[in-house]
Structure 1
Amino acid sequence: MAFTVSLIKIFIRRNSRQRGMKFLKCSEDAIPPPTGKRVAIVGAGPAGLGAAGVLRCKGHEVHVYDALQEPGGMLIFAIPEYHVPKAGVRSGVQELVKAGVNFHLKTKVAGCSGDGVKLEDLVRDFDAVLIATGTWRSRNLGVPGEDLPGVYVALDWLFEFYQAQLGYTSMDEVPPLGHNIMVVGGGLTAVDATEVPLRYLKDRFNIQKVYLSYRRTRNEAPMSPREFNRLIEKYGVEPLELTVPTKFSPGPNGRVASATLQRMKLESVPGDKRPHPVPIPGSEFEVKVDAVLVAAGEIPSPPFEQGCLGIELNRDGTIKTDQKFRTTAKKVFAAGDVRHGASLYGLALKSGNEAAAALDEFLRTGSWS
């Protein structure tokens, strides 16, 4: 699976650089006559854009709703330019616009409560609805001091930075860091939370040291040992493997000033491929920090609560679907990370394409059984 994911990731990066990222699955002049069917897609990330490209090529009227200022989702607002060039994403989006896909930006879909477009209105007004809202929420560590000023959710901090980098806000609005930063986590968000400040903001915040705390070793890290080593060799990041923060403490100004970490050891668990980290009693130590970026993993962000319109969520927060991407509410489909959990964007794009094919079958046959 990892090999396949890597190939998808490499292909999309090359494709986005050379020809623009391709979401439309046909040439504009090959779009068939209108079917009279209307589809609403909630979320303009890779899954939503991929689905829009497939459905438009089937002749359906497609409307994409997104709360952000431009389409792209995490491709624009959560992944660095040096991984996914924004121009490639925007080129693919423009193809969709020229083909007749309608985008409703800065438009929040509010589920069954709250401000914004109501999901029930979309279900009423459209022939089918696809939910593709991704994984914009993050796990907490659940330790004392996590709510201190200077302790940030890494994904939220990165979003604020990209907002400023893209010109939607000012760099003055990017939450401040400091001389010594600690990043907590071992996944791809942890990579970006480590690298982005050092590449773009080192002088602005006079960054001297970045620590990378991970509860396992680099050999078990989702980012891969190679990526872990690259951060150390290229940027001088100080690894704190086999450690877990247990407390963050404030300084005189109320901001975070230190992190207490506990050393861990790995133990094998029957039936689990990865060893489990186990605390070593009496092994706590303290590290002085000016800011902390917590990248403990992303979780699904469906635009509604459990049971809204009869749509069920799984225990992990993903939307419950069958193999045809159908939710427990008729006419409503789900795709991408909000359906299967956090993944690389290649898999989200693939999921959107497959969901669109299933949705098209429903529109053509009317069958939900």
Structure 2
Amino acid sequence: MGKVTGFKEFARQAAPYRDPVERILDFDEIYTPHVDSRLQTQGARCMDCGVPFCQSDDGCPVYNLIPEWNDLVYQGRWRAALDRLHKTNNFPEFTGRVCPAPCEGSCVLGIADPPVTIKNIEMAIADRGFSEGWVRAEPPPARTGKRVAVVGSGPAGLAAAAQLNSAGHRVTVYERADRIGGLLMYGIPNMKLDKNIVERRVGLLREEGVEFITNTAVADGSDGSIDSRELRAQFDALLLATGTTQPRDLPVGGRELTGIHFAMDYLTDSIQAVLGDHSPAISATGRDVLVIGGGDTGTDCIGTSLRQSCRSLVNFELLPRLPEERAPDNPWPTWPLIFRVEYGHEESAARFGHDPRVYAISAEGFYAGADGAVAGVRTVDVIFRRGRMHKVVGSQREWSADLILLSMGFLGPEHASSDPLGIAYDRQSNYAAEFGSYATNVEGVFAAGDCRRGQSLVVWAIREGREAAREIDRYLMGATRLP
């Protein structure tokens, strides 16, 4: 694929982000315009490796036909590249922006050289498709007469809805928020994923016949919610794609103080403010911000705090700093556990002159100021021996902070929709449904995405939504043509 000797001739050149000093002044996307010549050169680096691990289980969860569309971009055949991309991925404009690119971690070229810039190429193909008008609504040619309800409009729910609708079923998606998109809308900030891009895709799904109902909780029928049992009775099948929304807390002294918030509450409030719904209820403006926990959500809290003009910024990470290169117990093609500088870290360094992260540190308790609100946190350094954490004697410190954001992952889904149905749960409190079949213990009820597998990636949610749609189609029709 690509140019036969391209990987020998051309170095990796990832598309740059906008200048960090400039981009922290707004919530516009951080990406620079696509440069076709650079993308074609990068596509040429795809090395005809024989076994494309980029689309294996260690690589792309949706099995994107990566070598094929790399080659097509190299040839300048963008329309054909888009067709290949849409064969496996309903929403490449999302994954091209927010996916951490496990495909690049398993790229064969990455064994000895920097991998192909797969994520950049994917995003460019999708954006080219929209700009050229190639991406259009495609309603199904006929309807089956079957009706499916989907609870949750995140990437799993949307992918399932798209596939089920394409099979001719009538699909209704229920969302408790005021806008469609779930995590895509209210969990990922605008500078990584502009909400017009989400709404553009939702608009296409509407044109294709998917019905969306917002501001509607599905629970036990109380407090204005729809009873999930009644929903199951009204539809031929029901898919739960509610995500994992129970945040991991930090139960230490002073947790009840004002000024301490879960990361997702902060991000949702900020996104709504950017969209013009209201002024920020949780603002970092002029405040000393502490983000506890890393990952993409922690980075998004950093980037948002900078754009709100925080006074100072620190990010605690419990684990030690990762190595620059793969460790011996982290071989290719597994995901490389290496030190990375994400967009928020780069922005913080540009603003304050240093990376905001402090490693191997644990919060022991919060303390209040004269006004009774949180004023800081007491910590202790930690070390890990044989997988166990130990406190470092004499390492206690105090850190000033009047806005503390907890970004420590999620414990599982809420059960308001599932309890009335009698859904069984696994040991992690996720909805119990076998991977591949997605059927719960309740007849005609399926589950997909984070609510089934636990906290994961957008691209995994898309895969599970697609596969759950296939199994629902099989359940309804006795056979299926969905992939």
Aligned amino acid, residue 287 of structure 1: W
Provide the C-alpha distance between the structure 1 equivalents of 2:284 and 2:350, rounded to a whole number of angstroms. 23
User: Does the CA contact (< 8 Å) of 2:236 and 2:444 recur in 1?
Assistant: yes
Provide the C-alpha distance between the structure 1 equivalents of 2:323 and 2:244, rounded to a whole number of angstroms. 22
Taking the TM superposition and a 5 Å limit, the aligned residue runs for 1:167-206 are: 167-171=276-280, 173-175=281-283, 178-198=286-306, 200-202=307-309
User: Normalization by structure 1: what TM-score?
Assistant: 0.87
Taking the TM superposition and a 5 Å limit, the aligned residue runs for 1:34-183 are: 34-111=143-220, 115-171=224-280, 173-175=281-283, 178-183=286-291
- CA 1:133–1:153 in 2, change beyond 3 Å: closer, same or farther? same
Provide the C-alpha distance between the structure 2 equivalents of 1:258 and 1:107, rounded to a whole number of angstroms. 38
Answering whether residue 356 of structure 2 is matched by residue 233 of structure 1, we say: no
- CA 1:55–1:314 in 2, change beyond 3 Å: closer, same or farther? same
- CA 1:151–1:237 in 2, change beyond 3 Å: closer, same or farther? farther
Query: Which residue in the other structure is 2:381 paired with?
Result: 263
Percent identical among aligned pairs is 30
Query: Which residue in the other structure is 1:327 paired with?
Result: 440
User: Does the CA contact (< 8 Å) of 2:165 and 2:210 recur in 1?
Assistant: yes
- CA 1:220–1:161 in 2, change beyond 3 Å: closer, same or farther? farther
Aligned amino acid, residue 230 of structure 1: E
Provide the C-alpha distance between the structure 1 equivalents of 2:217 and 2:337, rounded to a whole number of angstroms. 32
User: Does the CA contact (< 8 Å) of 1:133 and 1:303 recur in 2?
Assistant: no
- CA 1:113–1:303 in 2, change beyond 3 Å: closer, same or farther? farther
Answering whether residue 472 of structure 2 is matched by residue 356 of structure 1, we say: no
User: Does the CA contact (< 8 Å) of 1:191 and 1:223 recur in 2?
Assistant: no
Provide the C-alpha distance between the structure 1 equivalents of 2:350 and 2:445, rounded to a whole number of angstroms. 47
Provide the C-alpha distance between the structure 2 equivalents of 1:279 and 1:342, rounded to a whole number of angstroms. 28
User: Does the CA contact (< 8 Å) of 1:133 and 1:337 recur in 2?
Assistant: yes
Q: Aligned-pair distance for 1:358? A: 0.7
| Structure 1 portions without partners, runs of 5+ | 270-275
Answering whether residue 392 of structure 2 is matched by residue 283 of structure 1, we say: no
Q: Aligned-pair distance for 1:169? A: 2.2
For the aligned residue pairs, the C-alpha RMSD in angstroms reads 2.8
Provide the C-alpha distance between the structure 2 equivalents of 1:174 and 1:20, rounded to a whole number of angstroms. 35
Q: Which has the higher contact order (CA 8 A, sep 6+)?
A: 1
Query: Which residue in the other structure is 2:422 paired with?
Result: 310
Query: Which residue in the other structure is 1:243 paired with?
Result: 361
Q: Aligned-pair distance for 1:230? A: 3.4
Q: Per-residue displacement from partner, 1:157-214 (whole Å, max 9, x unpaired)?
A: 111111111122223x33456431111002111111111110x201xxxx22211111
Provide the C-alpha distance between the structure 2 equivalents of 1:289 and 1:223, rounded to a whole number of angstroms. 30
Taking the TM superposition and a 5 Å limit, the aligned residue runs for 1:294-305 are: 294-304=406-416
SS at match of 2:421: helix
Answering whether residue 212 of structure 2 is matched by residue 212 of structure 1, we say: no
Provide the C-alpha distance between the structure 2 equivalents of 1:250 and 1:174, rounded to a whole number of angstroms. 18
SS at match of 2:322: helix
